[in-house]
Structure formats: C-alpha cells, structure tokens
Amino acid sequence: MGNAIVKQPDGKYAIWSTICDNFIATNGTKEEVLEYFADKARECALESWGRVFDNLEKHGCGVGIRDYQECLEERRD
C-alpha cells in the first residue's frame, strides 16, 4: 500500500509514505485521515471500473462483465 497511519505525540494523526519516506499529511483528526483514504479508494475504484467500461464499450467485454443474455439464462428466481 505504501502508507501508514502514525499517531503523533499530541494525539493527532499523520500519514507516512513508504514510497517517499516522508509524511504526506500531518495534524489530522481520525475523521480527516479516514476521509483521505476513502477518497483515495474512491479514485482507485472509479479508475479501475472505468477501464472495465472502456473495454466493454470497445470490445463488448470486460473483466467482471458477462453477456447479458447469459446472465438472464443463469439467474435464479
């Protein structure tokens, strides 16, 4: 992952990057740090699933995407 949450002596939180061996954020609250990681996860998901949709639109298929008719035939009622 490359990041670690570090509790500062004053009780606030910092984010340490093992990639650049430095803090990328300091003096954060628990909520701010959680929001930072939630935003990063959202960005990653949008990028990843965006590629799936790109493949679907270009080639008619993508990782994790099945043919609609196949799904209809296999669904359980």
If one counts the domains in the chain, the total is 1
Residue 54 pLDDT class (50, 70, 90 cuts):
confident
Residue 76 pLDDT class (50, 70, 90 cuts):
confident
Q: Per residue in 6-48, pLDDT tens? A: 999 999 999 999 999 999 999 999 999 999 999 999 999 999 9
Residue 23's pLDDT is what?
Answer: 97
Query: What residue ranges in the chain does DSSP mark as E strands?
Result: 3-7, 13-17, 22-28
Per-residue pLDDT averaged across 59-70, rounded?
68
Domain of residue 57, residue span: 3-74
The structure's pTM equals: 0.70
Quick one: which H or E segment has residue 39?
helix 30-59
